[in-house]
Amino acid sequence: MIWFILALVLIAFIVAISNIAVVQQSRAYVIERLGAFHEVWGVGLHFKVPFIDRIARRVSLKEQVLDYPPQPVITKDNVTMQIDTVVYFQITDPKLYAYGVEQPMAAMETLTATTLRNIIGDLELDQTLTSRDIINTKMRAILDEATDPWGIKVNRVELKNILPPADIQSSMEKQMKAERDRRQAILQAEGQKKSAILIAEGERESAILRADAEKQAAILRAEAEKQAAILKAAGEAEAIREVQQALADSLAMLNEKAPSDAVLKLKSIEAMQKVADGKATKIIIPSEMQGLVGLANGIVEGVKE
């Protein structure tokens, strides 16, 4: 009897231990009681009623990533390409996730593929290749709205690779090469244009500088000639003053010596000689000086003999 009681106690202990559950961080347990939803366990220690409660689903509340393989899609201009998609999502309602849809991950994959086909079908090839952000935004909005009844929130959608057909890729590469060559030619032409403009501006500035230098040189030469003329005039004026001063001194000395009439007449002859100086063609000599001239000529002839 004792062994039976001990066995019952041991079985009860084992059952109690097995019905204790510890829910970890960022996880949630969906509990059913007698086959119907009962509650959602959060983080902590929980006990379920044996044989009545059961853990229907263990749910991760972390953000998760689904990387789907490339999907064939057709653009508006009938170009078939392969696009693979990455979806970042998070379970926000464990109850809806458990009971909203059968196989939620498969449902999300199918929904993502159909949404991608619908969006790409409205775009042409060039728009598809250049509108990744627009496609990502549209897909995120559509998927987030569609998965709300499933307790799923779509945080971000990314188009990882867009692979057009080989012939389209070859044509695009040729087009890109032609575009790069065109840009290179434009840049080269602009560089030559700027270089020609800079050279012309340099020549213009050089001509302006040369003209300014020649102007300054002409001004300096004129100033030098002006100073030289002023100095020359000043020298001639000084020479004239000295001659006049010497003449005045000689006359003063002559007056002091009380010269005779013969000396005065001789001085008059010298003055006449200076007046003639080879420049006059005709000189009128006063009658009173003619005799003196004859006398002077006689004296000169006597001196020669």
Claim to verify: residue 84 and residue 137 sit in the same structural domain:
yes
The three-class DSSP label of residue 299 is helix
Which pLDDT belongs to residue 96? Answer: 92
Q: Is residue 36 part of a domain?
A: yes
What residues have CB less than 8 Å from 119, skipping those under 6 apart? 135, 138, 139
Above 80 in pLDDT, residue 263? no
Q: Is residue 304 part of a domain?
A: yes
Above 80 in pLDDT, residue 62? yes
Above 50 in pLDDT, residue 298? no
Claim to verify: residue 51 and residue 67 sit in the same structural domain:
no
- Expressed as residue numbers, the domain containing 23 is 2-60
Claim to verify: residue 14 and residue 104 sit in the same structural domain:
no
CATH number of the domain that residue 151 is part of: 3.30.479.30
Claim to verify: residue 80 and residue 56 sit in the same structural domain:
no
Claim to verify: residue 78 and residue 150 sit in the same structural domain:
yes
The three-class DSSP label of residue 27 is strand
The whole-chain average pLDDT of the chain stands at 81
Cβ distance 81 to 165 under 8 Å?
yes
Give pLDDT tens digits for 9-49. Answer: 787 778 778 788 889 988 999 999 988 999 999 998 988 88
- The pLDDT of 70-74, averaged and rounded, is 89
Which pLDDT belongs to residue 156? Answer: 93
Which pLDDT belongs to residue 151? Answer: 92
Claim to verify: residue 43 and residue 135 sit in the same structural domain:
no
Q: Is residue 185 part of a domain?
A: no
pTM: 0.56
Cβ distance 64 to 89 under 8 Å?
yes
Q: What is the C-alpha end-to-end distance of the chain, expressed in Å? A: 200
Residue whose C-alpha is closest to residue 151's, from 114, 116, 108: 108
Q: How confident is the model at residue 237 (pLDDT cuts 50, 70, 90)?
A: confident
Q: Which of 154-158, 226-230, 265-269, 301-305 has the highest mean pLDDT?
A: 154-158
Give pLDDT tens digits for 87-139. Answer: 999 999 999 999 988 889 999 999 999 999 999 998 888 888 888 899 999 99
Which pLDDT belongs to residue 285? Answer: 53
Which pLDDT belongs to residue 300? Answer: 42
Choose the final residue of a domain: 21, 40, 60. Answer: 60
Claim to verify: residue 112 and residue 54 sit in the same structural domain:
no
